[in-house]
């Protein structure tokens, strides 16, 4: 089991390298690499410009000390030229950095979407524990945050590293003119200013890490609480009509306020942690104003350094400690980056490892029948409250049969269909299925995707696959002729259409696709009696040769000219069977069931 699934935390470097390997294997790798190299080239040029600017400081302040007006004017011209180049480089770095963020976000979002929407995987993720909660938030918000922070911190680290390497050499050379005088004695330490800058920066970094380390866990908790609040708000918004009918606004407000309270508690912990961290970072920043002057003062007051040389030493010291304090200045953002990396990588690894996570559990085998039939072989479905079994150990269903699987509430009827679709693997035995392109499942709640009604009708196929006349006929056949003129209108049909209309859209979709095998889970529950007669008549006319398997509370009685095969599903709680078989004379007719 991966660390993400087990609840452990693998090192940040290992997680980052896994994402880097995934990027290397993608089509976006070349574009990301070219952008990164371009950013690096600009950063190198910027470092060279900063070194030139530091030498300019020496010449400028020497001109001031010598009261040389001509040299002073020339240094102003030199300054404008240097700043013009540096400004151009900063603009280029900004554009390239922002473009790199966009490219990284596009790649990572596409990568996660591809893994998440792998057939059956998104549904099964919901049963993987806390990692399966709000994957949408991780894919959208966490991905944005991670890619932006990665680009910004990566560019900043590269810049700090280059400046550090460049100015350590500069500062080492300038330290030759710094001698410590003690009365009549003197002491010369090679690289004196370098060691002072290193000591100051490393002390600040260590103290920052010590004080700010808890922010990593706090930020991870904060993003989870943010996701919970977002999910709760979306849920209320999607169900606001039903909530209003029940006058349940106050109850929903209480729930949302409670969720908000948990988030606020998490935010307050972060506020306290940031306050403690600010004591270190701000104090470090204020002291940095005078520390380089203090450590270089012996050389200046001893007469070894001119004013210009002093300013060059101070500038070099500041660049070195600024590069080294990159960790201090960015610790909060590093903590956020670490938290988002953990969330995104855990989601990705869990999605890729679902089969591994489920190893050791009893699993239902779902395979294709060699003769294109449907067969249940010693099937047992494990339920949260027991297990479900069919009365016969081996059941084979042929072409054109109408089959009803009946059982009490909670017997696992819907779970049986999920097992057939590969969505529920807990159990034993084998399900032999006909070819996938010959089957269609009809769940209780039909899915109406956003976009045009024509696209919803042809889903999951492209609208261009079907003839427009045929699509119009299918709508008319299920009693929705009024929707034919709106076939090409893009609207939120899932909100505009009532549940009974959505269920009739599902039957129109069924008629349009004309599968050879249909598996129905109470797909006409919202229809009136006359509407149910219309949609069910499809299986007697246009799809009379289609095999239909439905689930219901009670067995169906065969009507004239139609033979219905009944299968009984029994739930055995805690291994003890409690289901009593219903007698044949107690079976309702199809018409009674439709009512």
Q: What is the DSSP string of 11-30?
A: -HHHHHHHHHHHHHTSTTHH
Region of residue 386 (phi > 0: left; psi between -120 and 50: alpha; otherwise: beta): left
- The DSSP secondary structure of 271-324, one letter per residue, reads HHHHHHHHHHHHHHHHHHHHHHHHHHHHHHHTTSS-HHHHHHHHHHHHHHHHHH
How confident is the model over 533-557, as pLDDT tens digits? 899 899 989 999 999 999 987 766 5
Dist. CA 110–CA 108, nearest whole Å: 5
User: Parallel, antiparallel, or unpaired: how do β-strands 517-521 and 547-552 relate?
Assistant: parallel
pLDDT for 389 equals: 92
User: Parallel, antiparallel, or unpaired: how do β-strands 185-187 and 180-182 relate?
Assistant: antiparallel
Dist. CA 332–CA 319, nearest whole Å: 21
The dihedral of CA 117, 123, 129, 132: what is its sign?
Answer: positive
Q: Residue 505, Cα to own-chain centre: how many angstroms?
A: 32
Which phi and psi (to 5°) does residue 141 adopt? -75, -45
- Give the chain's residues under pLDDT 70: 1-10, 174-189, 241, 245-246, 285, 298-310, 328, 355-361, 555-562, 574-595
pLDDT for 470 equals: 93
pLDDT for 5 equals: 40
Q: 308: closest CA among 54, 45, 47? A: 54
- How far apart, in Å, are the Cα atoms of 1 and each of 12, 349, 361, 396? 18, 10, 13, 37
Q: 505: closest CA among 458, 468, 469, 544? A: 458
Exposed/middle/buried for residue 218 (C-beta within 10 Å: 0-12, 13-18, 19+): buried
Q: Are 23 and 29 in contact (CB under 8 A)?
A: yes
Exposed/middle/buried for residue 12 (C-beta within 10 Å: 0-12, 13-18, 19+): middle
Q: Are 573 and 384 in contact (CB under 8 A)?
A: no
Beta strands in 25-67 (DSSP E): none
- The DSSP secondary structure of 521-542, one letter per residue, reads ESTTTTS-HHHHHHHHGGGTTT
pTM of the model: 0.66
User: Parallel, antiparallel, or unpaired: how do β-strands 564-572 and 386-390 relate?
Assistant: antiparallel
How confident is the model over 209-245, as pLDDT tens digits? 788 778 877 877 887 788 788 888 887 887 776 777 6
Residues 6+ apart with CB under 8 A from 541: none
Residues 6+ apart with CB under 8 A from 89: 42, 45, 46, 49
Q: Are 556 and 586 in contact (CB under 8 A)?
A: no
The total number of residues shown for the chain amounts to 595
Exposed/middle/buried for residue 364 (C-beta within 10 Å: 0-12, 13-18, 19+): buried
Dist. CA 10–CA 18, nearest whole Å: 11
End-to-end Cα, the chain, rounded Å: 50
């Amino acid at each position: 089991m991966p660390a993400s699934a087990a609840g452990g935390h693998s090192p940040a470097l290992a997680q980052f390298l896994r994402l880097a390997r995934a990027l290397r294997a993608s089509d976006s790798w070349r574009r990301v690499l070219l952008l990164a190299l371009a950013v690096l080239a600009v950063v190198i040029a910027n470092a060279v410009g900063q070194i030139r600017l530091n030498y300019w400081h020496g010449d400028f302040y020497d001109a001031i000390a010598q009261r040389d007006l001509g040299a002073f004017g020339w240094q102003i011209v030199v300054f404008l030229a240097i700043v013009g180049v540096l400004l151009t480089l900063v603009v280029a770095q900004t554009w390239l950095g922002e473009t790199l963020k966009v490219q990284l976000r596009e790649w990572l979002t596409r990568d996660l979407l591809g893994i998440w929407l792998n057939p059956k995987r998104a549904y099964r993720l919901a049963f993987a524990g806390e990692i399966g909660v709000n994957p949408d938030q991780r894919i959208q918000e966490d991905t944005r945050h991670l890619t932006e922070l990665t680009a910004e911190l990566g560019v900043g680290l590269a810049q700090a590293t280059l400046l550090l390497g460049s100015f350590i050499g500069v500062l080492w050379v300038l330290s030759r003119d710094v001698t410590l005088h003690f009365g009549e004695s003197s002491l010369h330490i090679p690289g004196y200013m370098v060691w002072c800058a290193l000591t100051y920066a490393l002390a600040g970094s260590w103290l920052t890490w010590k004080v700010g380390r808890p922010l990593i866990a706090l930020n991870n908790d904060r993003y989870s609480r943010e996701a919970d609040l977002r999910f709760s708000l979306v849920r209320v918004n999607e169900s606001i009509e039903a909530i209003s009918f029940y006058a349940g606004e106050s109850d929903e407000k209480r729930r949302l306020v409670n969720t908000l309270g948990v988030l606020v508690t998490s935010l307050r912990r972060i506020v306290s942690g940031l306050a403690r961290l600010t004591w270190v970072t701000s104090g470090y920043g204020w002291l940095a104003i005078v520390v380089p002057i203090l450590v270089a003062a012996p050389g200046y007051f001893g007469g070894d350094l001119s004013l210009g040389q002093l300013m060059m030493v101070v500038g070099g010291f500041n660049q070195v400690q600024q590069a080294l304090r990159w960790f201090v200045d960015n610790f909060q953002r590093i903590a956020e980056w670490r938290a988002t990396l953990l969330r995104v990588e855990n989601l990705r690894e869990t999605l890729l490892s679902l089969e591994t996570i489920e190893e050791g559990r009893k699993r239902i085998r779902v395979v294709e029948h060699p003769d294109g039939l449907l067969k249940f072989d010693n099937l047992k479905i494990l339920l949260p409250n027991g297990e479900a079994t069919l009365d016969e150990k081996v059941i084979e269903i042929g072409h054109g049969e109408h089959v009803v699987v009946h059982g009490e509430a909670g017997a696992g009827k819907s779970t049986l269909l999920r097992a057939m679709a590969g969505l529920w693997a807990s159990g034993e035995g084998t399900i032999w299925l006909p070819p996938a392109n010959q089957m269609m499942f009809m769940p209780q709640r039909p899915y109406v995707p956003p976009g045009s009604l024509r696209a919803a009708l042809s889903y999951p196929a492209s609208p261009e696959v079907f003839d427009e006349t045929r699509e119009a006929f299918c709508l008319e056949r299920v009693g929705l002729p009024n929707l034919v003129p709106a076939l090409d209108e893009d609207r939120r049909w899932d909100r505009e259409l009532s549940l009974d209309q959505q269920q009739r859209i599902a039957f129109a979709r069924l008629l349009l696709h004309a599968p050879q095998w249909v598996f129905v889970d109470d797909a006409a529950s919202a229809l009136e009696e006359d509407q149910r007669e219309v949609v069910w008549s499809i299986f007697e006319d246009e799809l009379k040769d289609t095999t239909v398997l439905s689930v219901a509370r009670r067995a169906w009685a065969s009507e004239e000219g139609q033979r219905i095969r009944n299968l009984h599903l029994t739930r055995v709680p805690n291994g003890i069977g409690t289901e009593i078989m219903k007698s044949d004379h107690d079976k309702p007719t199809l018409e009674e069931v439709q009512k």
